[in-house]
Amino acid sequence: MTGKTVVVLGTATPGGGFPAYGAPYAETINEMDPTLSVEPRNTKGSTENVPLLEQDKLDIGLATGEVTYEAIAGIGRAKATNLRIINATYSQAGMFMVRADSANRSILDLKGKRVVWGAGTSGFIVLARYVMDGLGLDIRKDFEAILLEKAGDGPPLVLDGHAAAMWGGGVGWPPFTAIAKGPAGARFIAPRPDEIERITAKHSFLKPNTLPAGSYPGQDQPIRSVGSWPFVLARASLPEDVAYRLARALHRGEATLGKRLEQARESTLANTLAAAPRQDLIHPGVLRYMREIGLVRSSEGVMK
């Protein structure tokens, strides 16, 4: 569109949480700043979005905290240098969902059974790998792993009994909602308190996290697990003024975005500042806006 700055947003495969977040996110930002045109695009997910950002083939893209951590730490790859944070999305605790009539009650009960880990390029699989490793398990060797083309293909496999469980997380994640609405209902399997301690001791970037009660149909109790914050990342080469306008529009539209998507209520600049591994990983344009509104006092530190 003439006069608008087009910002291409990479999400993930259809039926998953990132496309469900990307659409209202783009709608809200575009509404709050008519000079921007954020355009969501389906991708293969976190593990594709990061290299696309690095290569300047996306402007912004969604990535789980684990994929972000590996990229900036250079785990299994060269350290990413063309990535900066625009905002944190919502806290995300990883766990399994089974049918309510399942005999499985613990993670060890699922050992050796068919488990849907999600789309093969999803950041959820990276989270699963770290969580299981913390328990001395391997997602491929200790389970009959099912990897998908797209996340939306998972629920039918659990509903018809082809798989014992599906791995995922976050409030209102579409595949979990689909399973929970099935005729048998659903139940969660998450790490026990002692298992959470083992996982976070081995992988300290993972933090204890709680899925609030009422996040899914029939879920009347909070579920404790471990996880992290996904991010909207930008290529570092994204112009500072564009990142500034994105941050300003997000800040102005926080309430609107939260009404459109419940879990997006957590998509605040304050949460972004708290969730970022380091402040210098936040895009300079976003930091400029944070200073303007008094969220960041100066390079010396954060306002308390």
**Residues above pLDDT 70, as percent of the chain:** 97
Which of 159, 19, 36, 13 is closest to 98 using CA atoms? 159
| Strand arrangement, sheet containing 36-41 | 36-41, 5-10, 60-63, 231-235, 83-88
Residue 166 pLDDT exceeds 90? yes
CB 32 within 8 A of CB 254: no
Look at residue 2 in the predicted model and tell me its pLDDT. 58
Residue 20 pLDDT exceeds 80? yes
Strand pairing class (223-228; 92-99): antiparallel
End-to-end CA distance of the chain, in Å?
Answer: 41
Model confidence at 298, pLDDT cuts 50, 70, 90, reads: low
Q: What is the mean pLDDT of residues 204-208?
A: 87
Q: How far apart are CA 155 and CA 118, in angstroms?
A: 10
Look at residue 299 in the predicted model and tell me its pLDDT. 55
Residue 111 pLDDT exceeds 60? yes
Residue 16 pLDDT exceeds 90? no
Across the chain, mean pLDDT equals 93
* Proportion of the chain in helix, strand, coil states, percent, rounded to 5: 40, 25, 35
**Residues above pLDDT 90, as percent of the chain:** 80
List, for residues 114-152, the tens digit of each pLDDT value: 999 988 877 889 899 999 999 999 999 999 999 998 889
**Residue partners of 254: CB distance under 8 A and separation at least 6:** 265, 267, 268
Look at residue 302 in the predicted model and tell me its pLDDT. 41
Look at residue 177 in the predicted model and tell me its pLDDT. 96
Residue 65 pLDDT exceeds 80? yes
**Residue partners of 151: CB distance under 8 A and separation at least 6:** 12, 13, 14, 15, 16, 17, 118, 119, 122, 124, 168, 174, 175
Mind listing the domains of the chain with CATH numbers?
Answer: 5-90+229-302 (3.40.190.10), 95-226 (3.40.190.10)
Q: How far apart are CA 232 and CA 143, in angstroms?
A: 31
Look at residue 156 in the predicted model and tell me its pLDDT. 97
Residue 171 pLDDT exceeds 90? no
